[in-house]
Every structure is written in structure tokens, then in C-alpha cells.
Amino acid sequence: MPEDYKDEVLSRRWFLAATAGAAAGAAVSDAASADTLADVPPREPGADLSGHSERSRFVMISRIPEATPGRRNVDPGDAINSKTPLDKLVGALTPTDLHYERSHAGVPDLDPAKHRLLMHGMVRKPLVFTVDELKAMPSISRTVFIECTGNGWENWKKADENLTVQNTHGLVSTNEWTGVPLKFLIGLVEKEAGSTWMLAEGDDAAGVARSIPLTEEIVEEAFVAYGQNGEPLRPAHGFPIRLVMPGFEGNLNIKWLRRLKFGDQPWMTRWETARYTQLLANGKARQFQLRMDTNSVITSPSGTMEIKPGYNRVTGVAWSGHGKIAKVEISTDGTETWSEADLNGPVLSKAQTRFGMDWAWDGKPTKIVSRSTDEQGNVQPDRKTFIAQTGTNALFHYNAQQTWSIDATGRVRNVLS
């Protein structure tokens, strides 16, 4: 290809890319003032290298310990979970130390040299694996979200206007996990054909144990993880090994995994009878509601923030336990009209996806909402539809559309609709 023609092609590509974002660029440049580097502080030697990198002293970011709905910023000894600061994150991945935390009896201090994984029950070859043996097996790495079933529970019955998105939706995070496919381990122990359920049990003091149906999807996608974002699991997230169940309830992703037992029926543990069940509007209780449904939330602007009239960038995250996010729509007029948002690539299956849209606010009071649709056509419901189906006695699997109100001063507040 002649050089002059190559330059012409490159110039054309640059022009197309530049004009595609011209509207947003113009809005941003209009908001910026002309300046120079004359008053920028001079360069100076920096800090010495260290064993690990710290965040900038200008970045204040942390999780929030929480007890029950409405009891936030509690003493860590009284907390049952710690929420991810979604309003301060960018992209789709969650930093390892900010991944939400949920435990029933604290974080055990397990020696990987002594830890074991027992696989038994309806299998032909019961086996016990060391952590080193698991690490020596064929592995996969997959980026997926894990979400606590209690995510969103703050807005079941009423809305505290002073909540942030960290308060309302901070029990979901996305990491890259590395480990051994469940299917490979099942092959080693030679599971019997009649075994259709698996009991996964943790090594924490609470002895969390859940019955898991061995569907084709679960057998193909679940894995025993020992890695998190390129390093060993953190203790709060299951060190030395945990079960990862892409798209399913956070409590099925058993941390500190020590046992997998195979059988032909569920074990009906206290965790799936007394704990993780749903009292519905018709008075019946739903059991084994395992998959996390299609969801999304605007993270900026969101609760307790303040904005100014003119250009604003609306951004947030969407996710679905059914697969990839197909589209996200945003309403800036209280659901009167909807506009399709941009999705930041790559859009991965059962992982959070960042979305965004340019918006010129006219300074009048309004409400902003997002709704997501996944690749199977599942649409995130509005609150009225959701409550009509589930009632207000439940506590888990809240995925109704999140509404933020904006008053004439630009104050953003949490409201139900």
C-alpha cells in the first residue's frame, strides 16, 4: 500500500473517531476553561519503590461495614457484610480489597498446607485433594460477578433519601477468578449417573452448606477457585479455595470449601430452609431461587451527589445471571422516555458491564432510572411490577429499577420511583 494512501486511510479513521464523539467532546470543552501549565507544580523526585503499591493519598475509597438494613457504619465486630463503593469505581472490575464481603461467623485463618477438599457420596472413587494438587490440575480463568442475595434490600419497603449507591447496591462485585473446572473434578471421582445434586460445605465456624442441582449449565461453568485477580484468594473471599458459581446466588459460591458430596436429592440444610427462602405476596415461600436476575444501577449521578445544569455523563453498571447484557436504557425524565446507553467493551457473560450516556440537564427537578436487558430477553422490572409479584415480606433477590431524584439545586436522592 502506497504511503500517501496509507496516510489518507489513517486520517479518515481519525476523523470518523473524532466526529463520533464530537457532541460529548464539545460539551466537555465548553465546560473547561482555557488554561496553561504555568501554575502546575514543578516536577520533583517521587517516593521510593516498595513491596506493593498504595493508592494515592488523594483517593479516599473503602467499603462500609453493615449489620441489618438501616444499620450502617457499625463496629466491624457487629457487621455481617461490607459493601463495595460502586460510586467510586470505574470500569467493570472490582479491586480485590474492595470486593464486597459477607460472612456468617467471621473469616477463618486456614493453613493451605493442611486444608483438604473431600469429594464423596454417590461417586465411584471418593477422593481427598490437597490445595497443591488442585493447583497442579488444568485450570481456567473467568471474569464473573458474585452478588449477595440481600443486595438492594434497603429499598424493599421504603427509601431512605440519604442512601448512596454503595448503601443500596454495594453487595455485588466482579473479579477474575482462577481454578479447576468442576467438570474435571467430577470426572476424577467418577460421579454416578443417578447423582443429580451436590452438597457444597465450607470450613468456617458457621458450617455454611448448600445443596446445588447438577444441571448441565452448572456442571459446565462452576469451578473450584484458588486465584482472585491474578493472586491467591484473599482470606475474606475464601482462601485457600472456594466454589465459584457464575450467575448464581452469592451464598452458593461457598468460601473456604472443604467438602463436595454427591447425591440424588437436596440435603435441606438450615441455609436453604430457615435462611435463604422467600416469603411471597401470596403467603407461600419460594425455595431454591438460585439464579441472580437481570439488574442495573446508575452509579453517577447517584445518591447524595450534587450536579450542575449542563453537560453530565450518566454512568453505571449492569449484570445478569442469565448471560451477557444486551442493552441498557436510561430515562432522565422519570421513565417518560428512554434512551439506549453505550456499553463499554468487552461485554462478558455473567459479569458486570459498564454503561454510559451523555446528558444535558436543564436544571429542573427530575428522576433518572436505568433498566437492563440481557441476551435472553430478560428485562429488569420496574418497582411496581416487581412488588406485585413478590410483595414486601421478602428480603432477597431485589432487582427492581433504581430511581434517583434530582431537585432544582442538583441534589441527588434515593427514592422508590
Alpha carbon distance 342, 353 (integer Å): 10
Nearest partner of 276 among 208, 223, 215, judged by Cα? 208
Between the alpha carbon of residue 387 and those of residues 1, 153, 176, 207, 307, the distances in Å are 62, 13, 34, 33, 31
Residue 26 pLDDT level (bands cut at 50, 70, 90) = low
Q: Is the pLDDT of residue 13 over 80?
A: no
pLDDT one-digit tens code per residue, 356-393: 999 999 999 999 999 999 999 999 999 999 999 888 88
**Cβ count near 54 (within 10 Å):** 8
pLDDT one-digit tens code per residue, 212-227: 999 999 999 999 999 9
C-alpha cell at 36: 496553561
C-alpha cell at 205: 465456624
Percent helix, strand, coil in the chain (nearest 5)?
Answer: 20, 30, 50
Alpha carbon distance 174, 117 (integer Å): 25
Question: Where does 192-277 show beta strands of DSSP type E?
Answer: 197-202, 209-213, 223-228, 231-232, 242-244, 257-263
Q: What is the predicted pLDDT for the residue at 69?
A: 67
How deeply is 344 buried, as exposed, middle or buried, from its count of CB atoms within 10 A (0-12, 13-18, 19+)?
A: middle
Nearest partner of 92 among 312, 333, 318, judged by Cα? 318
Q: What is the predicted pLDDT for the residue at 275?
A: 85
Nearest partner of 267 among 286, 287, 284, judged by Cα? 287
Averaged pLDDT for residues 97-117: 96
Q: What is the predicted pLDDT for the residue at 32?
A: 62
Q: What is the predicted pLDDT for the residue at 18?
A: 43
C-alpha cell at 298: 446508575
C-alpha cell at 312: 453530565
Residue 414 pLDDT level (bands cut at 50, 70, 90) = very high
Q: Is the pLDDT of residue 21 over 80?
A: no
Q: In the chain, pLDDT over 70 holds for what percent of residues? A: 91
Q: Is the pLDDT of residue 15 over 60?
A: no
Eight-state DSSP code of residue 250: G
CB under 8 A, 24+ apart: contacts of 70-73: 70/154, 70/160, 72/167
Least confident range from 156-165, 239-248, 323-332, 365-374: namely 156-165
Averaged pLDDT for residues 390-416: 95
> Model pTM?
0.91
Nearest partner of 100 among 190, 174, 210, 180, judged by Cα? 174
C-alpha cell at 349: 457473560
Nearest partner of 131 among 230, 257, 28, judged by Cα? 257
Averaged pLDDT for residues 27-36: 65
Q: What is the predicted pLDDT for the residue at 5?
A: 42
Query: Residue holding cell 451477557?
Result: 324
Per-chain mean pLDDT for the chain: 91
Averaged pLDDT for residues 24-29: 63
Measure the CA dihedral 69/72/75/77, to 10°.
Answer: 30
pLDDT one-digit tens code per residue, 36-93: 888 888 888 988 888 988 888 999 999 988 887 667 777 778 888 899 999 999 999 9
> How do strand 278-279 and strand 353-361 relate by DSSP bridges?
unpaired
Between the alpha carbon of residue 225 and those of residues 67, 96, 206, 251, the distances in Å are 28, 14, 21, 15
- Cα atoms in the Cβ-side hemisphere of radius 13 Å centred on 337: 4
> How do strand 127-130 and strand 140-147 relate by DSSP bridges?
unpaired
Please tell me which residue, 158 or 302, carries the higher pLDDT value: 302
Q: What is the predicted pLDDT for the residue at 156?
A: 87
Please tell me which residue, 39 or 112, carries the higher pLDDT value: 112
Q: What is the predicted pLDDT for the residue at 80?
A: 85
Identity (one letter) of the amino acid at 139?
S
How deeply is 191 buried, as exposed, middle or buried, from its count of CB atoms within 10 A (0-12, 13-18, 19+)?
A: buried
Edge to edge, what strands does the sheet with 310-319 contain?
Answer: 295-300, 310-319, 353-361, 342-343
Alpha carbon distance 375, 394 (integer Å): 27
pLDDT one-digit tens code per residue, 316-362: 999 999 999 999 999 999 999 999 999 999 999 999 999 999 999 99
Residue 30 pLDDT level (bands cut at 50, 70, 90) = low
Residue 204 pLDDT level (bands cut at 50, 70, 90) = very high
Alpha carbon distance 320, 44 (integer Å): 47
Q: List all residues 6 or more positions away from 263 whose beta carbon is below 8 Å from its beta carbon.
A: 121, 122, 195, 196, 197, 198, 199
Least confident range from 17-26, 215-224, 234-243: namely 17-26
Q: List all residues 6 or more positions away from 363 whose beta carbon is below 8 Å from its beta carbon.
A: 309, 408, 410
